[in-house]
Amino acid sequence: MQFCDDCGSMMKKEDGVMVCAGCGATAEQEVETEAFISTEEQTDDELIESSEEANFEGKPTAKDVVCDACAHEEAWYTIKQTASADEPPTRFFKCKNCGKKWREYS
Protein backbone atom coordinates (compact mmCIF):
# COMPACT_ATOMS: atom_id res chain seq x y z
CA MET A 1 0.00 0.00 0.00
CA GLN A 2 1.33 3.41 -0.89
CA PHE A 3 0.25 6.81 0.43
CA CYS A 4 0.45 10.26 -1.15
CA ASP A 5 3.33 12.47 0.02
CA ASP A 6 1.20 15.60 -0.55
CA CYS A 7 -2.08 14.80 1.22
CA GLY A 8 -1.60 11.39 2.86
CA SER A 9 -4.43 9.66 0.97
CA MET A 10 -4.11 6.11 -0.31
CA MET A 11 -2.80 5.79 -3.85
CA LYS A 12 -3.94 3.31 -6.48
CA LYS A 13 -2.16 1.95 -9.51
CA GLU A 14 -3.30 3.24 -12.91
CA ASP A 15 -1.35 2.43 -16.09
CA GLY A 16 1.84 1.61 -14.16
CA VAL A 17 1.80 4.88 -12.18
CA MET A 18 0.50 5.44 -8.67
CA VAL A 19 -2.30 8.04 -8.56
CA CYS A 20 -3.60 9.67 -5.37
CA ALA A 21 -7.32 9.11 -4.79
CA GLY A 22 -7.54 12.40 -2.85
CA CYS A 23 -5.60 15.06 -4.76
CA GLY A 24 -4.67 13.31 -8.03
CA ALA A 25 -0.89 13.57 -7.51
CA THR A 26 1.20 10.91 -9.24
CA ALA A 27 4.28 9.01 -8.13
CA GLU A 28 6.40 6.06 -9.13
CA GLN A 29 5.33 2.79 -7.59
CA GLU A 30 7.33 1.75 -4.56
CA VAL A 31 8.71 -1.78 -4.32
CA GLU A 32 6.04 -4.21 -5.48
CA THR A 33 5.35 -7.19 -3.27
CA GLU A 34 3.98 -10.34 -4.87
CA ALA A 35 2.59 -11.91 -1.70
CA PHE A 36 2.00 -11.14 1.95
CA ILE A 37 4.63 -12.37 4.36
CA SER A 38 3.69 -13.34 7.89
CA THR A 39 6.44 -13.02 10.48
CA GLU A 40 4.52 -14.30 13.50
CA GLU A 41 2.49 -17.42 14.09
CA GLN A 42 -0.62 -17.46 16.23
CA THR A 43 -0.41 -19.69 19.28
CA ASP A 44 -3.23 -21.28 21.23
CA ASP A 45 -2.68 -18.77 24.08
CA GLU A 46 -3.94 -15.97 21.81
CA LEU A 47 -7.28 -17.66 21.08
CA ILE A 48 -10.37 -16.28 22.79
CA GLU A 49 -12.78 -18.79 24.32
CA SER A 50 -16.18 -17.96 22.89
CA SER A 51 -18.37 -21.07 23.15
CA GLU A 52 -20.77 -21.96 25.95
CA GLU A 53 -18.58 -25.01 26.68
CA ALA A 54 -15.45 -22.86 27.08
CA ASN A 55 -13.15 -24.11 29.82
CA PHE A 56 -12.48 -21.28 32.29
CA GLU A 57 -10.38 -23.40 34.66
CA GLY A 58 -6.79 -22.24 34.70
CA LYS A 59 -7.73 -18.65 33.86
CA PRO A 60 -7.14 -15.77 36.29
CA THR A 61 -9.30 -15.68 39.42
CA ALA A 62 -11.40 -12.75 40.59
CA LYS A 63 -12.10 -12.41 44.32
CA ASP A 64 -14.07 -9.17 44.04
CA VAL A 65 -17.28 -10.76 42.67
CA VAL A 66 -20.23 -12.59 44.21
CA CYS A 67 -22.11 -15.37 42.43
CA ASP A 68 -25.88 -14.71 42.36
CA ALA A 69 -26.63 -18.44 42.48
CA CYS A 70 -24.58 -19.58 45.49
CA ALA A 71 -23.03 -16.40 46.98
CA HIS A 72 -19.51 -17.78 46.49
CA GLU A 73 -16.96 -14.95 46.30
CA GLU A 74 -14.45 -16.37 43.83
CA ALA A 75 -14.70 -16.96 40.07
CA TRP A 76 -12.52 -17.57 37.05
CA TYR A 77 -12.70 -14.86 34.43
CA THR A 78 -11.68 -13.96 30.90
CA ILE A 79 -11.84 -10.60 29.13
CA LYS A 80 -13.10 -10.10 25.57
CA GLN A 81 -13.58 -7.07 23.35
CA THR A 82 -17.24 -7.53 22.40
CA ALA A 83 -17.91 -4.04 21.01
CA SER A 84 -15.88 -1.53 19.02
CA ALA A 85 -12.32 -0.76 20.09
CA ASP A 86 -13.29 2.51 21.78
CA GLU A 87 -15.66 0.67 24.18
CA PRO A 88 -14.40 -1.04 27.35
CA PRO A 89 -14.02 -4.85 27.23
CA THR A 90 -16.48 -7.32 28.77
CA ARG A 91 -15.45 -9.65 31.63
CA PHE A 92 -16.92 -13.16 31.54
CA PHE A 93 -17.03 -15.08 34.84
CA LYS A 94 -17.54 -18.70 35.93
CA CYS A 95 -18.19 -19.40 39.61
CA LYS A 96 -15.55 -21.69 41.12
CA ASN A 97 -18.19 -23.28 43.37
CA CYS A 98 -21.33 -23.91 41.29
CA GLY A 99 -20.13 -23.19 37.72
CA LYS A 100 -22.66 -20.44 36.95
CA LYS A 101 -21.50 -18.13 34.13
CA TRP A 102 -22.22 -14.40 33.86
CA ARG A 103 -20.75 -11.24 32.36
CA GLU A 104 -20.01 -7.73 33.54
CA TYR A 105 -19.58 -4.64 31.41
CA SER A 106 -17.01 -2.08 32.52
Q: Active-site residues: which are they?
A: 86-87
Amino acid sitting at position 47: L
The phi and psi torsions of 46 (rounded to 5 degrees) equal -85, -10
Q: Which residues contact 74 (CB under 8 A, 6 or more apart)?
A: 61, 62, 63, 65, 95, 96, 97
Nearest to 60 by CA among 37, 72, 78: 78
Beta bridge partners of 26: 19
